[in-house]
Structure 1
């Protein structure tokens, strides 16, 4: 055995020993991040073109809105919520129909998912990111009529301006359900006397709500779920590009009657 082999053998035996290894010392250094730090010119030159491209994409004008919109503007339905739900209906339904041969009956998003308002003026890609900063995608749930009743009961009890489309909910003066309609006059739901057609309804929503988010547990009983591989944010961007001018309004889709 040569000297090299002996040395390797000794090192191997030493490394396999049961001698516990101890951490002797840890050193740290506090670095204050501020404008005083000198920029790395080489790195800055490398990043600059990408930064400019991202800024141009984010600030590029997609559409225009004449009035500012915020989710707190009204109680039961708002222009910004109506716009979002209508956008999902218009942009997602062709995809769903092409894949399944069926149509989306209604849309339900959640009030808390609207993360920003919209200022009057130009609407950009950044606008869509501000409204919907999450990576949520559009899914379509097949609900039986019984679960659709639970969905409407949820809206009646919450009395919050969750974005809806394809669905009309009318409350009486006391805040109880007076009438509910899907697809305007095409399907009339009479929950008060139990005369509900036993059929399926296709509800477009987000992959967050489909898991019972915001206490929407009725989605957990969906008969079937279709994922459209379409992020809500991208859908809004496409909708802005398509529409040019966005001027949604508060309407009669969720209202309360007065005495």
Structure 2
């Protein structure tokens, strides 16, 4: 009995004696290391990366077309030449891809005003131009929407009062910003008809509060970036001269 008590006491002593003390972080220190031209380049890394860098720069500076003027997204209230160019490029380049995948035609395009990140300058148009206009990795998706969801889309545009790029949609507002005309490919929007709307993955996921895309029949992912659509479109043009038109106006 005496030994039993002794073993119990020994066990308790070992158990608590081996328990590690909890450590707490009480302070973090650091310093800023500025990267400047005073830091010598690593010659081995430079010799390895230089050919790749030169190849990329040459590719980006390859001339694709010529821009007749300078175009900015601030050139118009409801539609701009550069916005029309981008939306029309997505329509023309994505349409055959979508047709081959589904047998359907794209009915219209809606992109976002904020997705235009640079002007299109007068002069040579290169791949670098496309990267400046669309630096993001946004891809084209096509969403199947009923006419009732298209009504939500046009209502959104009427309330935003912003030159979001559109193609094949014609929208007219009165002086009170009420919709007086809304047509797709020159025809009135039918409530129960399914329309195939090309947009980008950012907007489909609710970007710019375009939540109407989530109420849809189907989603088609084309694995085709908007920037690549621009590049492909530029390659087909000799001279680029987009214009503002009557696709989105206020009477």
Question: TM-score normalised to the size of structure 1?
Answer: 0.84
Which residue matches 1:165?
Answer: 167
Which residue matches 2:227?
Answer: 233
**Following the alignment from structure 1 to structure 2, what is the Cα–Cα distance between the partners of residues 30 and 205?**
42
1:245 to 236, 239, 243: 239
Structure 1 residue 237, shift from structure 2 partner:
1.0
- Asked whether the 8 Å contact 2:73–2:80 carries over to 1, the reply is yes
What secondary structure is seen at the aligned counterpart in 2 of 1:96?
A: helix
Larger deviation, residues 88-97 vs 121-130: 121-130
1:97 to 79, 96, 99: 99
Structure 1 residue 19, shift from structure 2 partner:
4.5
1:77 to 76, 79, 93: 79
Structure 1 residue 30, shift from structure 2 partner:
5.5
Segments of 5+ residues of structure 2 without an aligned counterpart are: 1-17
**Following the alignment from structure 1 to structure 2, what is the Cα–Cα distance between the partners of residues 183 and 30?**
58
**Following the alignment from structure 1 to structure 2, what is the Cα–Cα distance between the partners of residues 106 and 162?**
13
- Paired residues, what number? 232
**Following the alignment from structure 1 to structure 2, what is the Cα–Cα distance between the partners of residues 99 and 125?**
27
Which residue matches 1:114?
Answer: 116
Structure 1 residue 59, shift from structure 2 partner:
1.2
1:139 to 138, 141, 145: 141
Which residue matches 2:188?
Answer: 188
What secondary structure is seen at the aligned counterpart in 1 of 2:183?
A: strand
Give the RMSD, CA atoms, in angstroms: 1.9
Matched, 1:224 2:226: no
**Following the alignment from structure 1 to structure 2, what is the Cα–Cα distance between the partners of residues 160 and 128?**
22
Structure 1 residue 39, shift from structure 2 partner:
2.2
